[in-house]
A and B are shown apart, each in its own frame.
Chain A
Amino acid sequence: MRIICPIKRVPDTAADKKIDATDNTVDRDGSEPVLNANDEWSIEEAMRIKERDGAEVIVLCMGPEAAQTTIRKALSYGLDGAIHVNDEGVAGSDAVGTARVLAAALADEEFDLIIMGNQSSDARTMLVPAMLAEFLDLPALTYAKKLDVADGTATVQREMPSGHQVVEAPLPAVVSVVEAINEPRYPSFKGIMAAKSKPVATPDLAALGVDAGEVGLGGAWTQVDEITPKPPKEAGEKVSDDGSGNLGAQAVAEFLTKQKLL
């Protein structure tokens, strides 16, 4: 079994974001970026399959040179190697550009499963898993809160607004996972040390045979016209309950009535 885990390097939600005013992209040097949280669950899921059935697990990341640290972090969980698409030409890619590059990076790879997060915390489009599946002409099992792989078939519980669907597809397949699927481990000291010597391939767009005009800011199918900070919201009225609960309850009901919400 060979498993691919696409991972993304994202700004830390808890840190200030800076926008590069010249091209409306996120300035990732403004804060120390991190491994996209949702990708920790896909890595954990891949590790569990590796430990149970034996598998080679490869990280796939499209990102700048600095993404090396994110890739090493991902490898420290016990994965086997990485493909880092590192080319200035990918900067500013939209979801379709990202999926196109990830697909190109896998064109000559053998694999049974692609396991990825259902969303990235910065772009949050939820588009890349289905788009990657489309480019690779593979079935996609998305929003999985449980994954089983046996006899050449992947079966997931696909989270619905209430309850779930059971969906299955033959391998190879793309699976995107939600937070409920597992509890990720912490990297071990041994894992952190081993990550340093895991092989990382660094193809550029030319090596992947991707036309630079189809990706990056220029090749994007969408365009950002402007980004403006939201004016900070002024905190509204705040009342203290007197301990009985009635005062607080009346105040909320009064507010809702005044706002025509009741």
Chain B
Amino acid sequence: MVDILVLVDHDGGTPKKISNQILTAARAVGGGEVHAALFGDKASEAAGKVGAYGATKAFVWEDEAAGAYATETQTAALVAALEASGAQAVLYSSDPFVTDVVARAAVRVGAGVVTDAVDLELDGDTLVATKPIFGGDMVSKCHVKGGRPQFIGVKANAFTAEESGGGAPEVAALDVTLDEKAKRAKVTDVVEASSGGRPEMTEAAIIVAGGRGLGDAEGFELVERLADALGAAVGASRAATDAGWYPHQHQIGQTGKTVSPQLYIGAGISGAIQHRAGMQTSQTIVVINKDAEAPIFSIADFGVVGDLYKILPPLIEEVGKRKL
């Protein structure tokens, strides 16, 4: 049995989908208490919603220092939350900013960290994580060695969020003392690019990705339209981000992001090994490419050989119809 503290990532008072997935996983695997830690603006509003997914206690730190400085203020809060909770394990979402906080906190409390888990099982008091490695070519099982706090990062969409029927959790405000050092890395500005209302790529259940086959930046309008019809995020190959057709943070692959959505649709992407290293663990892969020999077909569940400029417009229309 292990008590688990879930570091809940939230957006303006609502826990992110991945956090609900992780709370569900924590409930299913630990056999003990499930607690939540929430930091930053509207953290207490978000805390009220974690009971529905099984957290019985929420540790909240709503100080504006959580967002005004990078990483270290939240590191102090996570250490305080872990102490207040008494949990033996922390589950967190495998997101870059969260990973920074977890990395520092782990060194501070002597916790071992396993990243990118897609499955969890319990062996006595130890969580054993299954994770894809080497771009999904292999699968490993690993755990944190005995006696240490166990920090495990969980991949989006590895678990399905299910409500527990639980009521509002007990909410406790955290007492976090910040020394001046925690305020060294100061956030002086936030420049939000429009996401077009689309989900974040690393969280999305569906991703529509475009590559060099789109021909130019305008080609991405087609990809965006299909993404919008499906409620999906937009991804890109390096050829497309290098060309400046789409921003780098949407790049999927070895030097970009690793994603594992329920559905990946790739159009005009050949499927070089460096691209596959970021997407081949997707649950279902659909590709459109005019070259029947493109390597991406070898990992596709469904492939269409044809011109994406011909196929995408009627597909967008058809998806719109079927979604109704």
Q: In the bound complex, do residue A24 and residue B140 qualify as a contact, i.e. CB atoms below 8 Å apart?
A: yes
13 more A-B residue pairs beyond the given contacts A122-B134, A238-B303, A239-B305, with a C-beta to C-beta distance below 8 A: A13-B135, A124-B258, A158-B70, A168-B188, A220-B112, A226-B140, A226-B141, A240-B306, A241-B307, A245-B306, A246-B314, A249-B317, A255-B301
Over the window 112-138 of chain A, the binary record of Cβ atoms lying under 8 Å from chain B Cβ atoms (1 yes, 0 no) is: 000000110110111101110111010
Distance, CA A10 to CA B96, complexed state (A): 21
B19 smallest CB distance to A (angstroms): 15
Instruction: Tell me if B311 counts as interface (CB < 8 A to partner A).
Output: yes
Residues on B close to A: CB < 8 A?
Answer: 70-72, 75, 96-97, 99-104, 106-108, 110-116, 128, 132-145, 148, 181, 184-195, 200-202, 206, 230, 238, 241, 247-249, 251, 254-256, 258, 262-263, 265, 273-274, 277, 280, 284-286, 288, 292, 297-307, 309-315, 317-319, 322-323
Q: In the bound complex, do residue B206 and residue A179 qualify as a contact, i.e. CB atoms below 8 Å apart?
A: no
Residues on A close to B: CB < 8 A?
Answer: 13-14, 17, 19, 24, 26, 37-38, 94-96, 99, 118-119, 121-122, 124-127, 129-131, 133-135, 137, 139-143, 145, 155, 157-170, 173, 178-180, 220-230, 233, 235-241, 243-253, 255-257, 259, 261-262
Distance, CA A220 to CA B113, complexed state (A): 10
Q: In the bound complex, do residue B140 and residue A17 qualify as a contact, i.e. CB atoms below 8 Å apart?
A: no
Distance, CA A165 to CA B192, complexed state (A): 8
Q: Which of B139, B262, B297 contacts A238 (CB 8 A)?
A: B297
B147 smallest CB distance to A (angstroms): 10
Q: In the bound complex, do residue A161 and residue B107 qualify as a contact, i.e. CB atoms below 8 Å apart?
A: no
24 residue pairs A–B, Cβ–Cβ below 8 Å: A127-B113, A130-B101, A134-B104, A134-B108, A139-B181, A142-B71, A159-B249, A162-B192, A163-B191, A163-B193, A165-B187, A166-B191, A167-B185, A170-B184, A180-B241, A221-B113, A221-B145, A221-B148, A222-B112, A227-B138, A239-B305, A243-B306, A248-B304, A252-B286
Distance, CA A127 to CA B94, complexed state (A): 11
Central interface residue in B112, B277, B317, by most chain A CB within 10 Å: B112
Chain B residues within an 8 Å CB radius of A17: 134, 137-138
Q: In the bound complex, do residue B248 and residue A145 qualify as a contact, i.e. CB atoms below 8 Å apart?
A: yes
Q: In the bound complex, do residue B143 and residue A225 qualify as a contact, i.e. CB atoms below 8 Å apart?
A: yes
Distance, CA A261 to CA B322, complexed state (A): 11
Q: In the bound complex, do residue B133 and residue A142 qualify as a contact, i.e. CB atoms below 8 Å apart?
A: no
Distance, CA A256 to CA B136, complexed state (A): 24
Chain A residues within an 8 Å CB radius of B230: 262
Give 9 closest A-B pairs by Cβ, nearest first. Answer: A241-B306, A245-B310, A221-B112, A180-B248, A130-B103, A139-B184, A249-B314, A163-B193, A236-B301
Chain A residues within an 8 Å CB radius of B138: 17, 19, 227-230
